[in-house]
Chains A and B, each alone.
Chain A
Amino acid sequence: MNFWDLIVVQPMTNILLTIYGLVGNFGIAIILFTILIRLATHPLMVKQIKSSQKMQELNNSKQFKDMQEKYKGNKEKLSQEQMKLYQEMGYNPLSGCLPTLIQFPIIIGLYQSITRALAATPLTMLTLTRTVYPWLEDILPRLSITSLIPIDKFFLGMNLSQPEWTTLPIIGISIPILAIIVALTTYVQTKVTTPPTGTDAQSKQMSNMMAIYMPLLLGYFAINFASGLAVYFIVSNVFGIAQYAMMGKVDWSNLLKFSFGSGSSSSKAVSKKK
């Protein structure tokens, strides 16, 4: 077992299987596991929100605007002065990235945990038997590998080990409903949880692009990978919106606003807050 497996995939798989062993439904296990991850990373999310607020305050400050005016013809100098200002104010621009970055190993680890737990082939079954902590069955006999396997891979009529496509009655066309929901919830989460970032055109454009590309990218994953991953995306998005709402940080008015313009008063820049 390699280092990644040991520190990420094996613990995640065992937590997932423990929840499954307790609730008896793999879809619900993924949902509960996602909420668990969301709660565990909540402090990071709070930190990111504070970081964004501080960044916003800095970008709207008179000092920052004066600086932009003064060095508007010299991007390199402007960038240097911005960094200097951030340092003076005790702000680390990278501190806001951590919660986003930590999502990546979680998504990859969860995808690998789902496919490993569902063990669709002999080799993945062998790997699964080596992944389950042997002491789990000492705690609860139903967590033994022989009791856990076969995992019930069906949830709401979907096979969680395969991409989901639903055939519509009467017209008979298949559509990836789960992937569409993933894209929609990602879009909504990106839009309503993003505070305005001032007048910086580049930031606005980047944020707007994220609001387009993230839903498309996660929707693409949902179409092409195990639908268990799509369940994770949806629950993560919805729970994320709820977390922001509980902190009073959701801006529903942002939902339908979209602009690539650099100075329009109606455009509120967005940035990814996952």
Chain B
Amino acid sequence: MSDIDLNAAISLRGVGKRYTKYDDAPALITAATHMFRRSRRSKLWAVRDVDLDVQPGESLGVIGRNGAGKSTLLQMLCGVTAPSDGRLRVRGRVAPLIGVGVGFHQELSGRENIYVNATILGLSRREIDKRLDSIIAFAELESFIDTPVKFYSSGMYVRLGFAVAVHTEPDVLLIDEVLAVGDLAFRMKCFDSMRAIRAQGATIVFVTHQLTIIRSLCDRAIVMSNGTSVFDGAPDAAVSHFHDLLRIDQDEESDLGWAIRRSGIATVDLGALEAGDGTTTSSINGFDKLALPVTVHAEQDLVDGFLGVAVHSEDGTLVYADSAHETPWPLVKAGTTKRVTIGLQLALPTGAYSVTVGLYQRSDIAGKQVQLDLAPPRLIHVIGRPMVQGIADLKATFGPKPRAAATRRSQPAARRGSRTP
């Protein structure tokens, strides 16, 4: 066991956490009678032999099944519980987002709770005074800030909790699934602020089941299984490893199986979304064409590059993903910038969606592509046809005669047939 890394933001050596499972409720009398019969309590290692170093500015994803020890690991990192074994060192101000609105007092107003919460997270009164307006604005609670938080919705709760946490300018931000709550627009804002926090040199640890978060926000990821870290490496590789672990190859996230991440070759950026008439828009009619202005900048010569696009619904479900992998660009010269427009028709029910554009490259490995960059997602509100439900608008027609519908259906088949020599 090498020694602890004093320069790391987070350093763990041989860390283990053992819980005592009380088969009998611990009580005054049972404690006295069982004093000499401790063997009745079974021990359980929730985390065992974890070695980990996270350097300042790095963002680490932690994935694993329920009960793999992820949350226990996070609890130890924020100091709530101590490891039973090994050594753990965390440098700097830690802001945990483990429970939302922790320390919020129901009877107190949002404003009063900001002071309580921020003090616990290590801010002085003067520092809070300075940031108060910014916290309220971030949480979008201007008109509710003097209302007792017991009248808040769960979304408002999360927004306030998150707003306080990000404004403590933490050196280490610990996030546990908290972003599953709140609407998509706020989640996007959270991601933006986490990127900003990361850009300022803070260390972030995410514990999440949402593998898209790991892919878009983490530099590195570990996979936990049965209390130990079984993989430590690039996020995509970690996700693949996790899927191998689950032995699930065909679920919605398995597209990662075909991508290897490589940075430094080229970058992609997605501009403001445009409606059919070329004006910038944040909402679109489901029938209209949406234009995605994409800028690709090659830092090195990019051979066989192509774009991919993905649309996710508010709850994180992948609605649609496609790419131009059949028609890659032969070469984008180093130092040049290429502007492309992706056209998309969002035939979807009414709702908020996120649109992501990724830059990929064909690779020599069969069935594998290289992911070069992902542009930050853009949010679009789709105004769909009324009464349409589900995740896609398949534009059903309700024709008058079944026979007429049948002849129409046969036409594409005939066309396809005529193309074959």
Partners in one complex: no
